[in-house]
Amino acid sequence: MGYGITLQVSGDYALFTRPEMKGERVSYDVMTPSAARGILEAILWKPAIKWIVDRITVLNRIDFESIRRNEVGSKIPPRNVTAAMGGAHVDLHQYPSEDRQQRASLVLRNVAYLIDAHFEMNPSKVGETDTPEKFYNMFLRRARQGQCFHNPYLGCREFAARFQLIDHTEQRLASHYADIEEMDLGWMLWDIEYGEERGKGKTMYSFQPKFYRTMMRNGVIEVSREVGL
C-alpha cells in the first residue's frame, strides 16, 4: 500500500457517460473510478507514480437533469493523422459551424464525492531522486494551494470540478445514503487497459474496457482491483 490521500470534489454538473448509450449521452449514477483517477492526475501526474482509487463516498443525493448540448458530429479519421505524420498535405481541422449537432444529455446535478486513493511507484519510470515521500508531499502542497496541471472535470471538460484536500484529522462529511445498507448500481466502467505490440516494423495499440459490479454500502463504494469483466 502506498501513501494515501482523501480528496473532496464537487461540481454543479457531471456526466460520466455510459458506453452503451451511443445516440444520446446518459450518465452513470455515480463517479467512475477512472474519472476519479483523472482528477488526481490533473493535480499531480508523474511517470514514476500510478494512482489507485480505493473508495468513493457519494455525499449528495443522486439527482439527474436532462439538458441539450451542441457537439460536433464527427472525428478526424486516424488515417488522416497518420498520413499527415508521413508528410502528406491533409486537412486536420474540424469546422464546428459545418458539423454541429444538438444532442440531449442526461447529466448529474449538484454532485459531491470523497475520493480515497493512494499511489504506487512505477519501477520502470523511477528516477534516482524519486521517493514516495517526495511525490506525497508534492501532492499535498499542490492540493492545498489549489494547483493543478489542468482544470479537473467531472466526466466532461465543460463540467469543472472543485477540489479540497481532506486531512486525516478533519471530520469527514456524511453521505446522503449513510443509512442505506446496500444499493446495487449495476455494472460500471472500472478502467481501460491499454496495450502495445510491436511487429513487422509497426506498433499496434489496443485497449480493453474493464467493468465491475458497483455496490454502494452506506454511501461508500469500495473499488476492488479485481474486476468481473
Give the Cα separation of 154 and 16 in Å (integer).
7
Q: Characterise 101 by phi-psi region: left (phi > 0), alpha (psi -120 to 50), beta (else).
A: beta
Give the Cα separation of 225 and 24 in Å (integer).
30
Percent of the chain with pLDDT over 70: 95
Q: What is the pLDDT of residue 1?
A: 47
Tens of pLDDT, residues 51-66:
999 999 999 999 999 9
Give the Cα separation of 221 and 188 in Å (integer).
12
Q: What is the pLDDT of residue 94?
A: 82
pLDDT at 225 over 80: no
Q: Report the pLDDT averaged over residues 171-186.
A: 92
Distances, alpha carbon 38 to alpha carbons 9, 52, 130, 184, in Å = 12, 11, 22, 24
Tens of pLDDT, residues 29-83:
999 999 999 999 999 999 999 999 999 999 999 999 999 888 787 888 888 888 8
Instruction: Identify the weakest region by mean pLDDT among 94-98, 132-136, 145-149, 170-174.
Output: 94-98
Chain centre distance of CA 183:
22
Give the Cα separation of 90 and 92 in Å (integer).
6
pLDDT at 154 over 80: yes
**Across all residues in the chain, what is the average pLDDT?**
88
CATH 3.90.245.10 fits 3-222, yes or no: no
List, in order, residues 6 or more apart from 165 with CB less than 8 Å away. 5, 6, 7, 8, 140, 143, 144
Helix-, strand-, coil-residue percentages of the chain, each rounded to 5: 15, 45, 35
Percent of the chain with pLDDT over 90: 59
